[in-house]
Amino acid sequence: MTKTNFSSEIFSAATLHLDVLDEFIAVVQGKLVATDNAFARDSLTDLLANLTEQRETYLAFAAPTMVATAA
């Protein structure tokens, strides 16, 4: 596998992970809005923070120019 192919594979995988994380974040946000249970809200808020952190990591691989621009 060449360096270009390897980079392409990393980019593709990171983009796929971003898509999955975005979908999961949307589900968690929807559940967070829909519940009045304080424990569930705290738990979902923690999960959302973790997912957002993971998203930032994958974003660095999937769209490095976007990260550089946002900084």
The 10 Å Cβ neighbour count of residue 28 is 18
**Quick check: 68 pLDDT over 50?**
no
Q: How confident is the model at residue 4 (pLDDT cuts 50, 70, 90)?
A: low
pLDDT at residue 8, as a whole number: 84
* pTM, to two decimals: 0.77
**Quick check: 69 pLDDT over 50?**
no
Question: pLDDT tens digits, residue range 10-62?
Answer: 888 889 999 999 999 999 999 999 999 999 999 999 999 999 999 999 888 88
Q: Angle between the 38-62 and 3-34 helix axes, to the nearest 10 degrees?
A: 160
